[in-house]
Structure 1
Amino acid sequence: MSGISKKIILDGESLTLKDVYSAVREGAHVELAKTSVKKVERSRKYVEDLVKKGAVVYGITTGFGEFASVGIKKDDAARLQKNLIMSHAAGCGEYYEPEFVRAAMVLRANALAKGYSGITTRTLQTLIDMINHGITPMVPIHGSVGSSGDLAPLAHIVLAMLAMGEVHYKGKIMKAAGALKQAKITKAELSYKEGLALINGTQMMCGIGALLVRRAHQLYLLANVTAALSTEALMGTPRAFNPLISMVRPHKGQMLTSKIMTALMSNSGIVKSHTECGEVQDAYSIRCVPQVHGAVYDAVKYVESVINVEMNSATDNPLIFVDEDEVISGGNFHGEPVAIAMDFLGIAVSELASISERRSDRLVNPNNSHRTLPAFLIKNGGLNSGFMIAQYTAAAVVSENKVLAHPAVVDTIPTSANKEDFNSMGSISARKCIKIISNVEYALAIELLLACQGIDFRLPVKSSKKLMSVHAAVRKQVTHMSEDRVLSEDINKIIDLIKMPEFNALIESICK
Structure 2
Amino acid sequence: MTKNQIIYIQGEELTYDQFSAVVYDKAPIQLTQTAIEKIHSSRQFVKQLIDEEKTVYGVTTGFGKFSDVVIPPEQAYELQLNLIKSHACGVGEPLTEPVVRGMMLLRINALAKGYSGIRLSTLQTMIEMLNQEIHPIIPSQGSLGASGDLAPLSHMCLPLLGIGDVIHRGNRKPAQQALREIGAEPVRLEAKEGLALINGTQMMCSLSALSAIAAQNLLLAADIISAMTVEALEGITHAYHPILHQVRGQRGQMITAGNMLSLLEGSGYVTRPGEKRVQDPYSLRCIPQVHGASKDAFTYVAEVVEKEMNAATDNPLIFTEMSEVISGGNFHGQPLALACDFLTIAMSEIANISERRTERLVNPQLSGLPAFLTRHGGLHSGYMILQYVAASLVSENKTLSHPASVDSIPSSANQEDHVSMGSISAKKCWNILENVSKVLAIEYLCAAQALEFGRKTFGNGTKVAYDLLRQYLPPLDRDREGHQDIDIASKLIQNGALVSVVREKVDLMI
TM over 0.5: yes
Residue 183 of structure 1 and its aligned partner are, at CA, apart by: 1.6
- Cα deviation digits, residues 245-289 of structure 1 (max 9, x gap): 1110111100100100011001112226x7763411101000000
Residue 488 of structure 1 corresponds to: 483
Residue 364 of structure 1 corresponds to: 362
Residue 397 of structure 1 corresponds to: 393
The answer to whether 1:424 aligns with 2:420 is yes
- Cα deviation digits, residues 145-189 of structure 1 (max 9, x gap): 000110000000111111112211111122211211112222211
Residue 417 of structure 1 and its aligned partner are, at CA, apart by: 0.4
The answer to whether 1:335 aligns with 2:330 is no
Q: 2:461 aligns with which of 460, 466, 485?
A: 466
User: Is contact 1:412-1:423 (8 Å) kept?
Assistant: yes
- Cα deviation digits, residues 231-253 of structure 1 (max 9, x gap): 10011111111111111011110
Residue type at the aligned position of 1:338: L
CA distance in 1, matches of 2:177, 2:239: 61
User: Is contact 1:378-1:387 (8 Å) kept?
Assistant: yes
What's the RMSD between the two structures over aligned residues? Answer: 1.2
Residue 508 of structure 1 and its aligned partner are, at CA, apart by: 3.7
Residue type at the aligned position of 2:54: A
Go from structure 1 to structure 2 and tell me whether the alpha carbon gap of 1:394 and 1:37 turns closer, same or farther (over 3 Å shift): same
User: Is contact 2:316-2:326 (8 Å) kept?
Assistant: yes
Q: What runs of 5+ residues in structure 2 fail to find an aligned partner?
A: none
1:268-307 pair list within 5 angstroms = 268-271=267-270, 277-307=275-305
The answer to whether 1:186 aligns with 2:182 is no
Residue 220 of structure 1 corresponds to: 219
1:253-264 pair list within 5 angstroms = 253-264=252-263
Residue 323 of structure 1 and its aligned partner are, at CA, apart by: 1.2
Per the alignment, in what secondary structure is the counterpart of residue 323 of structure 1?
helix
TM-score with structure 1 length normalisation?
0.97
CA distance in 1, matches of 2:345, 2:307: 21
Residue 44 of structure 1 corresponds to: 43
The answer to whether 1:324 aligns with 2:322 is yes
Residue type at the aligned position of 2:433: I
CA distance in 2, matches of 1:153, 1:479: 45
Per the alignment, in what secondary structure is the counterpart of residue 269 of structure 1?
coil
CA distance in 1, matches of 2:3, 2:375: 51
The answer to whether 1:9 aligns with 2:5 is no
Per the alignment, in what secondary structure is the counterpart of residue 93 of structure 1?
strand
Residue 202 of structure 1 corresponds to: 201
Residue type at the aligned position of 2:85: M
Per the alignment, in what secondary structure is the counterpart of residue 322 of structure 2?
coil
Residue 504 of structure 1 and its aligned partner are, at CA, apart by: 3.3
CA distance in 2, matches of 1:55, 1:178: 39
Residue 92 of structure 1 corresponds to: 91
User: Is contact 2:348-2:397 (8 Å) kept?
Assistant: yes
Per the alignment, in what secondary structure is the counterpart of residue 90 of structure 1?
coil
CA distance in 2, matches of 1:119, 1:395: 50
1:375-414 pair list within 5 angstroms = 375-414=371-410
The answer to whether 1:504 aligns with 2:499 is yes
Q: Which runs of 4+ in 1 moved over 3 A?
A: 501-504
TM-score with structure 2 length normalisation?
0.97
The answer to whether 1:443 aligns with 2:442 is no
User: Is contact 2:134-2:178 (8 Å) kept?
Assistant: yes
Residue 485 of structure 1 and its aligned partner are, at CA, apart by: 1.6
Residue 448 of structure 2 corresponds to: 452
Residue 70 of structure 2 corresponds to: 71
Residue 34 of structure 1 and its aligned partner are, at CA, apart by: 0.5
Residue 507 of structure 1 and its aligned partner are, at CA, apart by: 3.7
CA distance in 2, matches of 1:26, 1:48: 38
CA distance in 1, matches of 2:499, 2:174: 37
Residue type at the aligned position of 1:462: T
Per the alignment, in what secondary structure is the counterpart of residue 297 of structure 1?
helix
Residue 347 of structure 2 corresponds to: 349
CA distance in 2, matches of 1:5, 1:288: 44
Per the alignment, in what secondary structure is the counterpart of residue 68 of structure 1?
helix
CA distance in 2, matches of 1:275, 1:139: 56
The answer to whether 1:476 aligns with 2:471 is yes
Residue 511 of structure 1 and its aligned partner are, at CA, apart by: 4.5
CA distance in 2, matches of 1:146, 1:508: 38
1:123-272 pair list within 5 angstroms = 123-271=122-270
CA distance in 2, matches of 1:161, 1:504: 39
CA distance in 1, matches of 2:397, 2:276: 37
CA distance in 1, matches of 2:148, 2:329: 9
- Cα deviation digits, residues 351-401 of structure 1 (max 9, x gap): 1100000000000001111x2x11110112112111110000000000000
CA distance in 2, matches of 1:176, 1:254: 51
User: Is contact 1:230-1:363 (8 Å) kept?
Assistant: yes
Q: 2:312 aligns with which of 311, 314, 318?
A: 314
CA distance in 2, matches of 1:116, 1:275: 62
CA distance in 1, matches of 2:211, 2:178: 29
User: Is contact 1:93-1:140 (8 Å) kept?
Assistant: yes
CA distance in 2, matches of 1:215, 1:511: 19
Per the alignment, in what secondary structure is the counterpart of residue 114 of structure 2?
coil
CA distance in 2, matches of 1:288, 1:484: 33
User: Is contact 1:10-1:113 (8 Å) kept?
Assistant: yes
Residue 465 of structure 1 and its aligned partner are, at CA, apart by: 3.1
Q: What runs of 5+ residues in structure 1 fail to find an aligned partner?
A: none
User: Is contact 1:413-1:423 (8 Å) kept?
Assistant: yes
CA distance in 1, matches of 2:206, 2:289: 30
